Structure 1
Amino acid sequence: MAHESLPSPYAALIAGTPVTRSALTVRGGRTHLWRYGADDASEHVVLLHGFRGDHHGLEPIVAHLLRDRPDLRVTVPDLPGFGASPPLPGARHDVAGYAAWARALLRRLAPAGGVTLAGHSFGSVVAAATMTTPGTAERLVLVNPIPRRPLSGRDTFSVGATAVLHALAGALPEEAGTALLRHRALTRVASIAMVRTPDRALRRWIHEEHDRYFAGFATRASLLEAFRASVTASVRDSAAGIDVPTLLVGGAKDDLARVPDQRALAARFRDARLRLIPDVGHLTHYETPAEVATEISTFLTTNHPRATPATVA
């Protein structure tokens, strides 16, 4: 007998968060946006989701952040090729392609500047690469940042196995390959590997969220391009070229970003601080969104002197 879907533990808070949907043409493709908070808010944060996600996954963080900081406006786009946003025409969905798209998007959303750019997981890689162009944004926030290229990390077996499955999906006929990439069993294996909470109801809801949204990519081609980027790139590739105040929020039990690697990553920035949330892994946006929001809020309201050593807590 099938289980009824669990309601989101954050449903009431999210429902009370003002949101409007819109779309912009960016680099020839239609980017769909969700804008949370008041349009006349004094500060603007643009938040990028991770690989195979969309704006839904970041709503718990956004809702907690706006509860604490109603003076903020947060824009969450669906990255090209994911959620409601179609692939970019004539462009590769790699880190360079996404970074060029993000810079163009920021110019449209905040032509006068003054914006904070943020990203979760693969979105952290894209956000960091975006920020290597000076003047792009005033601050950078990286949630569950990828500190080293996953295929060069300590857990290369599981990453390599996932790469083999994606290679197989690319070699199969279009329909069969797409069906493999959307297969619920693969989503569930990845979900189980990342979840850390002992709360059984929360675990089940997280798995259901992944079931609902991880298959929401546009095409096999764009998905495979983005996957290759996600396993061969890291925030480390861009860190030394970023000169704005940066916050890194990581999970202390994140197998994709071990604590020593997160500490080493923070030290590569000119002005960065790392905050580690205990007892959580790569799914801080689902398991500890209030804690992530608190760290972001504190960062945005704190003065950040330039050229200071990285701070780790």
Structure 2
Amino acid sequence: MSSTELPETRTAAAPSASRPARAVRVADGEELRSVSLPGLTLTVRARPGVEPGLPPALYVHGLGGSSQNWSALMPLLADLVDGEAVDLPGFGDSAPPDDGNYSVTGHARAVIRLLDSTGRGPVHLFGNSLGGAVATRVAAARPDLVRTLTLVSPALPELRAQRTAWPTVLLAVPGVASVFARLTKDWTAEQRVRGVLSLCYGDPGRVTDEGLRHAVEEMERRLELPYFWDVMARSSRGIVDAYTLGGQHGLWRQAERVLAPTLLVYGGRDQLVSYRMARKAAATFRGSRLLTLPEAGHVAMMEYPETVAQAARGLIADHGGS
């Protein structure tokens, strides 16, 4: 699965027919660029290390998220790693892939192609939710690209999904996304954001007024994208399909093959990935470390970035931090 493709790098700012006109937010200290590969264009949000020569890190977001999901965590590790967060195909500011492949394997292949083309591996790899499943596949398939692995509420198969996770499953059913889009066409961006926060945060009250405003602006931007609902539906279907795969392609079987030192982070109030899966994950990823946060929800790196950063620092320091 290696690649010899060379990326074309440019500033990701100017709108075009294939890119939204509304600008994507870039926090102080971040840099945004676009990497073009055959059939694939990915936006990368960089948080350069505080000094040259720091080992690279790559952050992979979850379903419906973007590279902005890591903006709170990345600066807390900038003295240890040179960080980059990718917008998966069709999410954030990345265009849909030419092949329309939104499976977990398709997303993993995009991450591998990015790392191969830029030559940044091996990296300290981080993944949340869908990004956790993607990162698990990458680590299993290409151990040469992964130095350490940090998974925050990874989307790994559960025998009994929580009821609050059923909407993700329903979204994967053909036609449901378009019906939902019609039924909710009068919802404001703020109503949608508050709904997402109540589902993803253990305590939505932790979100500041400024954070809410930025989230609403990003939601408004995404709703203008003609492919928004299609990407959500196809990626949801990709998660469901990955859950049903057996044999060597099953996510738990691949988790057993991961060689990289692993940190697992689970939230006690997670409504999408069950807290009870923490024990199974810790037993599956060999020699892994487990951080449980009873008050956290599905996005601990956004809810408790300092605590997650402290645990990640320990992992990185012990396994090739410099």
Same-fold status (TM-score > 0.5) = yes
What letter corresponds to residue 129 of structure 1 in structure 2?
Answer: R
**Aligned counterparts, 1:241-280, within 5 A:** 241-280=257-296
User: Aligned residues: percent identity?
Assistant: 22
Selected match of 1:46 from 31, 54, 58: 58
The structure 1 residue matched to 2:93, chosen from 66, 75, 84, is 84
Q: Which moved more, 1:31-40 or 1:230-239?
A: 230-239
Partner amino acid for 2:286? R
Indicate how the Cα distance of structure 1 residues 303 and 171 shifts in structure 2: closer, same or farther if over 3 A, else same: closer
1:273 offset after TM fit, Å? 1.4
Contact 1:254 1:282 in 2 (8 A): yes
Would you say the 8 A contact 1:243–1:271 is kept in 2? no
Q: Is the 8 A contact 1:47 1:119 kept in 2?
A: yes
Q: Residue 145 and residue 171 in structure 1: after superposition, are their counterparts in 2 closer, same or farther (change >3 A)?
A: closer
Code of the residue aligned with 1:287 in structure 2: it is: E
CA contact (8 A) 2:136 2:258 kept: yes
* 25 and 177 in structure 1: CA distance in 2 versus 1, 3 angstrom threshold: farther
Aligned to 1:11: none
CA contact (8 A) 2:104 2:130 kept: no
Give 1:154 shift. 3.9
1:61 and 2:73 aligned: yes
Aligned-partner Cα distance in 1 for 2:134–2:184: 24
| TM-score, scaled relative to structure 2 | 0.76
Unmatched 5+ stretches in structure 1: 1-13, 305-313
Q: Where in structure 2 are the equivalents of 1:27-46 lying within 5 Å?
A: 27-38=38-49, 40-46=52-58
Corresponding residue of 2:233? 224
SS at match of 2:133: helix
Q: Deviations over 1:54-83 (max 9, x none)?
A: 1112100112222xxx14200011111011
Cα distance in structure 2, aligned partners of 1:137 and 1:93: 22
Q: How big is the shift at 1:89? A: 0.4
1:98 alignment partner, SS class: helix
Please name the residue that 1:211 is paired with: 216
Counterpart of 1:123 in structure 2 is 131
Contact 2:164–2:272, Cα closer than 8 Å, also in 1: no
State the Cα RMSD in Å.
3.1
Equivalent in 23, 31, 50 of residue 34 of structure 2: 23
Find the residue that maps to 1:89 and give its secondary structure: coil
Q: Residue in 1 aligned with 2:108?
A: 99
- Preserved contact between residue 189 and residue 216 of structure 2 (Cα < 8 Å): no
TM-score by length of 1: 0.78
Other structure's SS at 1:267 match:
helix
Match of 1:192 in 2: 198
Match of 1:310 in 2: none
Deviation at 1:85, TM superposition (A): 0.5
Shift in Å at residue 101 of structure 1? 0.8
Is it true that 1:142 corresponds to 2:151 in the alignment?
A: yes
C-alpha spacing 1:180/1:135, structure 2 compared with 1 (3 Å): farther
Report the CA distance shift for 1:114/1:159 in structure 2 as closer, same or farther (over 3 A): closer
Q: Secondary structure at the match of 2:216?
A: helix
Cα 1:277/1:205, change in 2 over 3 Å: farther
User: Residue in 1 aligned with 2:308?
Assistant: 292
- Mean Cα deviation higher: 204-213 or 99-108: 204-213
Q: Partner residue of 2:13?
A: none
Structure 1: distance between partners of 2:214 and 2:282: 30
> CA shift at 1:165, angstroms?
5.4
Contact 1:252–1:277 (8 Å) recurs in 2: yes
| Distance (Å, rounded) in 2 between the aligned partners of 1:182 and 1:131 | 39
Corresponding residue for residue 5 of structure 2: none
Answer whether contact 2:267 2:296 (CA < 8 A) is retained. yes
Question: Per the alignment, do residues 137 and 182 of structure 1 end up closer, same or farther by CA in structure 2, a change over 3 Å counting?
Answer: farther
- Output aligned runs, 1:4-23, within 5 Å: 15=28, 18-23=29-34
Deviation at 1:260, TM superposition (A): 2.7
C-alpha separation in 2, matches of 1:248 and 1:40: 29
Distance 1:195 1:47, change over 3 A: same
- Matched residue type, 1:272: S
Tell me, in whole angstroms, the C-alpha distance in 1 between the residues paired with 2:264 and 2:169: 27
Amino acid at match of 2:149: L
Aligned with 2:160 (options 146, 153, 156): 153
Structure 2: runs of 5 or more not aligned? 1-26, 244-250
